[in-house]
Amino acid sequence: MTFVVGDNCIKCKFTDCVEVCPVDCFHEGPNFLVIDPDECIDCTLCEPECPAEAIFAEDDVPREQLEFIALNAQLAKEWPVITEMKDAPEDAEEWNGKKNKLEYLER
Ligand code: SF4
Ligand code: SF4
């Protein structure tokens, strides 16, 4: 299994999650983070760290966000690893909790 970053990370990107991952499996894009499913060891540490509640165990991904499983795997191959927390976008709180943000995903 793996853990998956879902819709609510888009445009929030608080990055709290990256500090706790023991195997550095988070990859960073312009306004979203993904988890590399080939590296994730299912340690569960990142899930409670996310202030946006955007991280799910693969089996618990909400039905309307199932496409994020493949999206994490694909973008993890394209984006660089991130291991240190950084400032969130200035308007992150404004976007936190908004639904269906996939159209705003920058690649
Ligand atoms: S803590 Fe949550 S919102 Fe922030 S980057 Fe990680 S997954 Fe995205
Ligand atoms: S479950 Fe563990 S290994 Fe997987 S992404 Fe989260 S912190 Fe990293």
* pLDDT at residue 81 in the model: 98
Radius of gyration, alpha carbons of the chain? 12
Spatial CB neighbours of 45, under 8 Å, sequence gap ≥ 6: 20, 21, 22
Rounded Cα–Cα distance for residues 47 and 17 (Å)? 7
As to burial, measured by CB atoms within 10 angstroms (0-12 exposed, 13-18 middle, 19+ buried), residue 23 is exposed
The binding-site residues of ligand 2, defined as CB within 6 angstroms of any ligand atom, are 3, 20-21, 23, 25, 35, 40-46
Residue nearest to atom 2 of ligand 1 (CA): 50
Q: d(Cα 31, Cα 70) in Å, to the nearest integer?
A: 18
The DSSP element (H or E) to which 57 belongs, if any, is strand 55-57
Give the pLDDT of residue 9. Answer: 98
Question: Within its chain, how far is the Cα of 30 from the centroid?
Answer: 12
Residues 6+ apart with CB under 8 A from 17: 5, 26, 33, 46, 49, 50, 55
Q: Which of 4, 7, 17 to mutate to test the pocket of ligand 1 (most atoms within 8 A of CB)?
A: 17
One digit per residue, the tens of pLDDT, for the chain of length 107 reads 999 999 999 999 999 999 999 999 999 999 999 999 999 999 999 999 999 999 999 999 999 999 999 999 999 999 999 999 999 999 999 999 999 999 999 99
pTM over 0.85: yes
**Cα 63 to ligand 1 centre (Å):** 20
Are 14 and 90 spatial neighbours (Cβ–Cβ below 8 Å)? Answer: no
In the prediction, which pLDDT does 100 show?
97
- Report how far ligand 2's centroid is from the alpha carbon of 12 (Å): 19
